[in-house]
Amino acid sequence: MRCRKIVYMFGSLLLGVTMNATAQDAPPPVSKQAVQTLQKINQLAQVKAALAAIERDDALTFRDQVELTEIPAPPFKESVRAAEYLKRMRALGLDARIDAEGNVIGIRKGRAAANANAPRLVLAAHLDTVFAEGTNVKVRKEGDRYYAPGIGDDARGLAALLQVLRSMNEAKIETAGDIAFVGNVGEEELGDLRGVKALFRDDKAIDGFISIDGTSVWRVVIGATGSRRFKITFKGPGGHSYGAFGLPSAIHAMGRAIAKMSDVETLREPKTTFTVGTVSGGTSVNSIAAEAELGLDIRSESPAELAKVEAQMLALAQQAVDEENARWKMKPGANRIRLDIKLVGDRPAGLQQVSSPVVDVTRAAITSRGLEVRSLATSSTDSNLPISLSIPAATLGGGGAGGASHSPGEWFSPAGGYTGPQTIMLTVLGLVGVYGATKPLLPKRSAHK
């Protein structure tokens, strides 16, 4: 999970930007239908048994989490962890498979699947971490905390997903709609959401999406912070710093570009940001640089603002090249600085109504357990893709507590962790329906393209 932003904070910590309300307003209430449905679901004998099993198996969930944490899954190298996850899904009765992109997918069929109105919901957690190959991922305990890179993001999500499946199977809960349990690749870094992009490309029957990422049960991600990432390369003739003096420099051109970009002003609402996060180039201190490269990250909740700032930044890069060539009076030809722009990351932006079925049912599920929803947030998660497609989606916490994600000091505390799988399972059941007891609250999309 990346780039977090608060949309609503309740109680004494009312902050930030809103979605469909003013900064001083609380979000609209949960629908009466969702509240009543979750009350009924909580009273079903088989659901009570599943909730009890989740609490009973809290230590088992955490053991899964530790074991998965200790299987390295660097960006684009998730295959070993994927193979283990496939094995665990199959052990829980799913006819699971690994697709061409590397996602682990298992469909738990609903009893009403043949019914045209029965929805299909995806419940996903991502397999990859941000950590490079060779990183020590052995879990160690200090006090009441467990430390390891990736232990919370997203080994906790993977373990919580397995526990939801395990408990539903044990309690013999039958659903009306289908549930696709997914361990997906490519959520982090330059993975660029390739796992969920493939998922939605290949399965046009998905009606709703939930990702499990992070730990906090009280925080629900309902909006998508989009990002566009570029590798911008400046290329020139290069040469000796003394003997070839008078030729344009790729590094000088890049410096001009960075200076221009740094002066760009962006909107606070919708929040739109940028940074030149990496730079490289040159051969030696006494050489005119033949090549230099910068990494540019642009983010916004608004697709329009994202496109606007992107166009502005790329125009400034070209302007910098033109100025560097003009500085040395370079005529058209081989000795001019040239620009190469490569898009290396595209995470779509989007907002959805708080009344979206997935958001509405999630809030009802959490409060039905006597817990509190304290934050509705925007972030960059696997939910970006479905939200951008106007498919109801949310990202939920897997339970417990954690911190320092994306760092070697990442930690997790399992206290009360069972509340994560419990509220996730209840959300799932509210959306796809308990067969013979409740109707699905996730509508079937009118047309699948």
pLDDT, one tens digit for every residue, the chain (449 residues):
654 444 555 433 322 233 433 334 688 999 999 999 999 999 999 999 999 999 999 999 999 999 999 999 999 999 999 999 999 999 999 999 999 999 999 999 999 755 667 999 999 999 999 999 999 999 999 999 999 999 999 999 999 999 999 999 999 999 999 999 999 999 998 999 999 999 999 999 999 999 999 999 999 999 999 999 999 999 999 999 999 999 999 999 999 999 999 999 999 999 999 999 999 999 999 999 999 999 999 999 999 999 999 999 999 999 999 999 999 999 887 799 999 999 999 999 999 999 999 999 999 999 999 999 999 999 999 999 999 999 999 999 999 999 999 999 999 999 999 999 999 999 999 999 999 999 999 999 864 44
DSSP state letter for 246: T
* Number of neighbouring beta carbons within 10 Å of residue 9: 15
- Map tokens 């009441």 to a residue: 144
Fold of 226-347: Alpha-Beta Plaits (3.30.70)
* Number of neighbouring beta carbons within 10 Å of residue 190: 13
Considering only CA atoms, which of 392, 426, 373, 383 is closest in space to residue 124? 383
Q: How do the domains of the chain map onto residue ranges?
A: 2-224+349-432, 226-347
How far apart, in whole angstroms, are the C-alpha atoms of residue 123 and residue 126? 10
How far apart, in whole angstroms, are the C-alpha atoms of residue 173 and residue 46? 6
CATH number of 2-224+349-432, picked from 3.40.190.10, 3.40.630.10, 3.30.70.80, 3.40.50.970: 3.40.630.10
DSSP state letter for 17: -
Exposure string for 59-74, b = 16+ CB within 10 A, e = fewer: eebbebbbebbbbbbb
User: Fold match between 2-224+349-432 and 226-347?
Assistant: no
Annotate 56-122 with DSSP letters as a single string: HTHHHHHHHHHHHHTS---TT--HHHHHHHHHHHHHTT---EE-TTS-EEEEE--TTTTSTT--EEE
pLDDT at 25: 63
Exposure string for 382-412, b = 16+ CB within 10 A, e = fewer: bbbbbbbeebbbbbbbbbbbbeebbeeebbb
In this structure, the dihedral spanned by the alpha carbons of residues 168, 1, 79 and 61, taken in order and rounded to 10 degrees, is -30
pLDDT at 1: 60
How far apart, in whole angstroms, are the C-alpha atoms of residue 439 and residue 303? 35
pLDDT at 11: 38
Contact yes or no for 425/222 (Cβ under 8 A): no
Task: Give CA angle at 86 (80, 92), nearest 5°.
Answer: 145
Whole-structure pTM over 0.95, yes or no? no
How far apart, in whole angstroms, are the C-alpha atoms of residue 90 and residue 92? 5
In this structure, the dihedral spanned by the alpha carbons of residues 397, 188, 168 and 424, taken in order and rounded to 10 degrees, is 20
